[in-house]
Structure 1
């Protein structure tokens, strides 16, 4: 598996799969192309042995808080789930965030997504709280933070 920094040319590959990877839910609007243009250095794609997209992580260094980094969106193809690829992407992001002097990483997920909640807790994230209407009416989110050591 090759993990490398995302490039603007990866946008089409990712956006063409993201809805299918989420069981047909319309997730594409959460992932505009600007993330592939402006956050190449902290975003990643993983290609399998056949050169097919296996996973991606979109993250960035906070412009507001110089101690923080943020993971915006992560996806792993259904056939590559459960093999540690998601963890590898997060660890790569953690390493780059540390190298940039960041001491905390934040992210959010839906409280209904029990698999995502468990995954983040297994990676050492702590749930700060559930924020009601975080992403609009009825769009509650679990706010996670992880201290980098």
Structure 2
């Protein structure tokens, strides 16, 4: 992991080849296996609306975002990660705000996201970011996979 610098992370659009860097750290960052929730196809097909945050020490965070093809006024944040040593410094907020601008540039008027009902930190973060929270919605991701649903106007 290296030493964490105090320099602000630089944001840039993601590239397909960023997937391997994310896949190498995401389970460690979460402290449990979560990589299966982020297949490679997300960065192969949605990298122009996704973000990478880097410092001199490497990957500090990422956001995988999508402008919906089926709902032309919606965008969706699929997955966000911040290196544990970089948390609490506003990086997730900065990435969200940057994605809101991307969504607006694509004519979107709202952003959605989901999380597990047990992810209290995510639920609290989304509330602080101005999202409404609904749920848990039973069986959202299949039998026994309840999810909390977030929505925020832009």
Range into which the TM-score falls when normalised by the shorter chain:
over 0.9
TM-score by length of 1: 0.95
* Distance across 2 between alignment mates of 1:40 and 1:115: 26
* Distance across 2 between alignment mates of 1:77 and 1:116: 15
1:19 aligns to what? 27
The alpha carbon displacement at 1:33 in A equals: 1.0
1:69 aligns to what? 75
Unpaired segments ≥5 residues, structure 1:
none
Unpaired segments ≥5 residues, structure 2:
1-8
2:15 aligns to what? 7
48, 55, 66: which one pairs with 1:41? 48
The alpha carbon displacement at 1:139 in A equals: 1.7
The alpha carbon displacement at 1:134 in A equals: 1.3
* Distance across 2 between alignment mates of 1:49 and 1:137: 43
* Distance across 2 between alignment mates of 1:48 and 1:139: 36
Give runs of aligned pairs for residues 70-149 of structure 1, distance below 5 A. Answer: 70-148=76-154
Which runs of structure 1 show a deviation greater than 6 angstroms over 4 or more consecutive aligned residues?
A: none
Look up the SS of the partner of 1:92 in the other structure: helix
1:54 aligns to what? 60
RMSD: 0.9
2:5 aligns to what? none
The alpha carbon displacement at 1:12 in A equals: 0.5
